[in-house]
């Protein structure tokens, strides 16, 4: 599951990068006013990357806490 989460985390980073580059290209090609609102999608994808990364660390530390707690019970 950790590999899947890592892959999906970097997937969202790639989506953010590709959408940013695409929107920037379209803004220069056809006009900033027409495509400027699409930068929101890059921001959402980037936010998803950081939230997923933060949650992966949080879940990992909670699992370690539970493992330590169960080891204390056994001892």
Cβ neighbourhood burial of 67 (10 Å; 0-12, 13-18, 19+) = exposed
Whole-number percent of the chain with pLDDT over 90: 85
Query: Band of the pLDDT at 2, cuts 50, 70, 90?
Result: confident
- pLDDT value, residue 71: 87
Cβ neighbourhood burial of 29 (10 Å; 0-12, 13-18, 19+) = exposed
How far separated are the first and last CA of the chain, in Å rounded? 29
Query: Band of the pLDDT at 75, cuts 50, 70, 90?
Result: low
pLDDT at 8 over 70: yes
What tens digit of pLDDT does each residue of 36-56 get? 999 999 999 999 999 999 999
Q: Looking only at Cα atoms, what is the longest distance across the chain?
A: 68
Domain residue spans in the chain?
2-74
């Amino acid at each position: 599951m950790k590999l899947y989460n890592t892959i999906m985390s970097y997937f969202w980073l790639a989506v953010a990068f590709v959408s940013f580059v695409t929107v920037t290209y379209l803004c220069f090609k056809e006009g900033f006013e027409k495509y400027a609102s699409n930068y929101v999608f890059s921001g959402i994808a980037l936010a998803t990357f950081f939230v997923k990364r933060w949650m992966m660390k949080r879940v990992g530390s909670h699992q370690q806490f539970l493992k330590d707690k169960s080891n204390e019970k056994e001892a």
